[in-house]
Amino acid sequence: MSVFNFVSCSMVRRVMGRSTRSIYLSLACLSLALHILLAFFCLSVLQTACVPPTSSSSSSASSSIPRKDTHHHQLVSNSSSSLKPSPSSHEEQHKLNASTLRHKWKDSRFGEEKEGEKKPSRGGNGIQKVRDQSKLEALFKHPLYNLPHPELQEDDWLLRVKTDDEEKGYDKVTWTRDMDTHPPWLRFHLGITRWELYDRKDPTLVQVMDYMATQRILSTVQKTGGTQLKLLISFPNYGEALAKPMKQSRDAETDVNLFYFSDFERHNAEIAAFHLDRVLGFNRIPPVVGRLINVTREIRDITTDHKLSRTFFISPVGNVCFHGVCDYYCTTEHPVCGRPHALEVSWRSPWRRSYSRTKQAQWETNPAYCDKVKDTPPYNQGTRLVDLIDMAILDFLMSNMDRHHYETFEKFGNETFLLHLDNGRAFGRHSRDEPSILAPLQQCCRIRRSTLLRLHLLSSPSFRLSDVMRESLAEDPLSTVASLLSEPHLHALDRRLAAVLQVVQKCQDLHKDVIYNDMGEYDQLLKE
């Protein structure tokens, strides 16, 4: 019995020992499993927070956004030494990014808040702004930005849809007189009137910019004429756009030793000029939008321009480049380069400069030059003179010295607005101002009442010009690459606005007939 008991006790100890060891082993395995799960969880969190930007190799116009680079050619990654694009899922990337851009544009009304909507909106430098606290929205709700328009007559429209009888002899297309069948660019053109290029509230404005930012490119050729490279882009449904490729980084300042007529044309200057013109309430610059296009697939491979195609080459670091044919900067020393394929693009005055290194224009030497201009048609009647002064204020704010001509629609004669075209040399310097750009205002001492009131509004803390511009520019697709204007350029806008108001005040101290009242019965807005 005692032996049995011993054996039994021994077996109990063994059984208990095995059970204990099993429990310890199970606990050890469980602990190890928990540690492994924790490790995987931590690793996934770290990867999510530090995911690098997708390479822009073979990027399309709506491709993955490349990282910001301060070098002139904005290198992202190396490509093949061949001019052929490296294989990648082009169509998937295009669909993904086109969808992203459409969402961005269609959710935006350029500062116009949708009814009942309160959602975050990205401001400059990643600042989040609540929709109902947006300075841009508040600005566009102000009465000065909602003045009633004159009643339009039949001859106040630039274009009208032809009747069935008038269409005889023309090629038939899939459009009808129903506006819903018209592509956005046609609807935009049909909305141009004698008094404005576009209505800020018209949804067609957003649609035409979405069209330019996302539509498939059918062909690309170089635009003839001009001093620097420009591309004419063709879209489906007969749409076209003028593209200015990126040649200079956002934060680069024009060399002080460079003459104004030898400066680069900047793609982001065209974009910023459109937004500034709209913020000032002029609405005289055609819509401009930034876009990433693929140098290889959307220019080189589809161009029918043999002169342009012969200028393509591969840079030493493997980027696809070209330089085109023009008067300035169209050489291998000043190429337009992808990164390695993705490229950013955008869309005669009496005070004309001499465009000479030694000669001065008459207005630069004669302080009373405006007296002669006032007696000269078309400046001796109507609004042409104050229109010109509006343009001078716009040019001074963005430091554009390259305003040698202006355009109007011939159909409307002298009773219409000026088109503010070709702003590529604006925003070149932020560290200094050019007072001579304000010569029309300084010498004529004349300004629209509505313009002056809006300038005062934009100088107030509630509607600071730099703030509303930062917010407006954040709506452009290229703002996800980098801010369209650097902070020094935005702060320069506030400084220059104060200078404009000082000039007006000086004029009012010296003259009585300074303000041109274009507001009529709406003059009571002065009290608001």
Query: How many Å apart are CA 415 and CA 404, to the nearest integer?
Result: 21
129 known member of a binding site: no
Beta bridge partners of 291: 345
433 is catalytic: no
Query: What's the first-to-final CA gap in the chain, in angstroms?
Result: 112
CB 217 within 8 A of CB 233: yes
115 is in an annotated binding site: no
Angle at Cα 327 formed by Cα 321 and Cα 328, nearest 5°?
60
Rounded Cα–Cα distance for residues 315 and 73 (Å): 10
> Helix H segments across 416-486?
439-444, 449-458, 465-473
User: Of 134, 277, 258, which Cα lies nearest the Cα of 205?
Assistant: 277
Q: For residues 484 and 388, what is the distance between their CA atoms, to the nearest angstrom?
A: 27
Q: Has 95 been labeled as part of a binding site? A: no
According to the annotation, is 344 in a ligand binding site? Answer: no
Decide: helix, strand or coil at residue 223.
coil
Q: Where are the alpha helices (DSSP H) in 164-263?
A: 184-190, 203-214
Cα–Cα distance measured from residue 259 to residue 375, given in angstroms and rounded to the nearest whole number: 32
* Residue linked to tokens 């204007």: 485
* Pair 408, 417: CB distance under 8 Å: yes
The SS3 assignment for 291 reads strand
Q: What is the C-alpha separation between 516 and 449, in angstroms, rounded?
A: 6
166 is in an annotated binding site: no
Neighbours of 154 (CB within 10 A): 6
Give me the catalytic one of 277, 402, 467, 476.
Answer: 402
Binding site for Mn(2+), by residue number, is: 265, 422
Binding site, by residue number, is: 228, 244, 265, 407, 422
Binding site for ATP, by residue number, is: 228, 244, 265, 407, 422
Return the active site residues: 402
